[in-house]
């Protein structure tokens, strides 16, 4: 174990959430012993809890709470955000925009606390809508975020917060790292209630159809919209590698294994051993027509890119969600 890792005091915000919980576990396995985990949710609602971490409930919309969170901290992983799947993002634009308070206050508190490194979790929602009008999309390059035309609400907030990180690095010498996540999925996350992402929602629908012998599934949109999906283990590894790199610009963190929603449903059906009649809700939230990650830059910097095949990740996620549903 590296002495520097052992002695580094790390803060993970959004630690009670899906990605944050997995990141705390990853850092613990890397040898970090001083981890402060912060989330707005009551502890009983955290997806994962590391019993050896300093687990604190704080509302990071407020500067004084951010100062408490960053006290005596060396490195910050800021994953705190009020967000969800496309259904939530399209119907809660103001709430998504208010996330700017979290990152702004966290940057100010980190500067005051003398934090050495600061990671910000951005999103592929920052990319220009004009680049995402075809399902047969080429991978989005980092410079495709400008001229700016991100998704309304959530995308604008993420793009603005990226700029805040850049200027705090330029003006105050706070080393910031920014990753643009592309559709993260996996076990120990939302799979119902309205905030779940497409893979979890579709897995739940297939399992419920199988249990209820309904033989039918509703798909949002026409099923031809395309996406790439990154398994959570690749995500947390990528976060760690980017944080400990010299990458001082926003960078993609996602796969380039492009599939349509119809193809994703077929993968889940094969795992479940069922074939369902598909009905299409054209009026439901469906996001952009196509989105994929161009990984040229991350491979150049890290000689690595997210690599877990979609089928393998979906199988693991399916087993976990099936267990949750059958338990109930």
pLDDT value, residue 141: 97
Asked whether residue 328 carries a pLDDT value surpassing 80, the answer given is no
Mean pLDDT, rounded, for 260-275: 97
- 68-83 in b/e burial notation, b at 16+ Cβ within 10 A? ebbeebbbbbbbbbbb
pLDDT value, residue 101: 97
Q: What residue ranges do the domains of the chain occupy?
A: 7-185+229-255+295-308, 198-226+259-293+313-327
Query: Using omega within 30 degrees of 0 as the cis cutoff, is the peptide bond preceding 147 cis?
Result: yes
Angle at 121 between CA 16 and CA 173, to 5 degrees: 115
User: What fold, for 7-185+229-255+295-308?
Assistant: Rossmann fold (3.40.50)
pLDDT value, residue 2: 62
User: In the block, which residue shows the tokens 């995500």?
Assistant: 235
CA distances from 14 to 24, 83, 108, 110, 267 (A): 10, 11, 18, 16, 30
Give pTM, 2 decimals.
0.95
Mean pLDDT, rounded, for 146-159: 94
Mean pLDDT, rounded, for 88-104: 86
8 A C-beta contact, residue 120 and residue 104: no
CA distances from 225 to 53, 85, 206, 219, 264 (A): 41, 15, 19, 11, 11
Asked whether residue 1 carries a pLDDT value surpassing 60, the answer given is no
pLDDT digits (tens, 9 = 90+) for 102-132: 999 999 999 999 999 999 999 999 999 999 9
pLDDT band at 85 (very low <50, low <70, confident <90, very high): low
Identify the CA nearest to 225 among candidates 296, 280, 187.
280
pLDDT value, residue 148: 97
pLDDT digits (tens, 9 = 90+) for 309-324: 999 999 999 999 999 9
**Greater model confidence, 216 or 89:** 216
Asked whether residue 193 carries a pLDDT value surpassing 90, the answer given is no
Q: Which of 32, 154, 191, 318 is catalytic?
A: 154
pLDDT digits (tens, 9 = 90+) for 156-178: 999 999 999 999 999 999 999 99
Among 149-153, 211-215, 269-273, 286-290, the range of highest mean pLDDT? 269-273
231 belongs to the catalytic site: no
The domain 198-226+259-293+313-327 is placed in CATH, from the list 3.40.190.10, 3.40.50.300, 3.20.20.70, 3.90.25.10, at 3.90.25.10
Asked whether residue 237 carries a pLDDT value surpassing 90, the answer given is yes
- For a pLDDT cut of 70, what percent of the chain falls above it? 98
Same fold, 7-185+229-255+295-308 and 198-226+259-293+313-327: no
């Amino acid at each position: 174990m590296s002495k520097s890792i052992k002695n580094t005091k790390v803060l993970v915000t959004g630690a009670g959430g899906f990605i944050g919980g997995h990141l705390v576990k990853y850092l613990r396995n890397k040898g970090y012993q001083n981890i402060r985990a912060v989330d707005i949710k009551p502890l009983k609602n955290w997806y994962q809890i590391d019993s050896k971490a300093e687990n604190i409930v704080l509302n990071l919309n407020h500067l004084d709470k951010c100062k408490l969170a960053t006290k005596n901290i060396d490195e910050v992983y800021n994953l705190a955000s009020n967000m969800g799947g496309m259904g939530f993002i399209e119907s809660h634009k103001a709430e998504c925009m208010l996330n700017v308070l979290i990152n702004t206050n966290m940057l100010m508190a980190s500067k005051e606390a003398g934090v050495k490194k600061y990671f910000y979790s951005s999103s592929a929602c920052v990319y220009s809508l004009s680049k995402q009008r075809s399902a047969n999309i080429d991978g989005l390059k980092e410079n495709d975020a400008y001229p700016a035309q991100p998704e309304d609400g959530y995308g604008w907030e993420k793009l603005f917060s990226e700029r805040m990180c850049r200027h705090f690095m330029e003006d105050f010498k706070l080393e910031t790292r920014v990753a643009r996540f592309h559709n993260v999925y996996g076990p120990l996350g939302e799979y119902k209630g309205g905030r779940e992402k497409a893979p979890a929602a579709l897995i739940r629908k297939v399992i419920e159809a199988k249990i209820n012998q309904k033989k039918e599934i509703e798909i949002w949109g026409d099923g031809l919209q395309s996406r790439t999906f990154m398994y959570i283990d690749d995500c947390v590894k990528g976060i760690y590698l980017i944080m400990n790199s010299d990458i001082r610009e926003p960078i993609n963190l996602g796969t380039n294994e492009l599939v349509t929603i119809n193809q994703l449903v077929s993968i889940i059906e094969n795992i479940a051993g069922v074939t369902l009649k598909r009905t299409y809700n054209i009026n439901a939230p469906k996001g952009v027509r196509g989105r994929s990650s161009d990984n040229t830059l991350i491979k150049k910097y890290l000689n690595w890119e997210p690599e877990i095949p979609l089928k393998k990740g979906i199988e693991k996620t399916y087993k976990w969600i099936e267990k949750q549903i059958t338990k109930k």
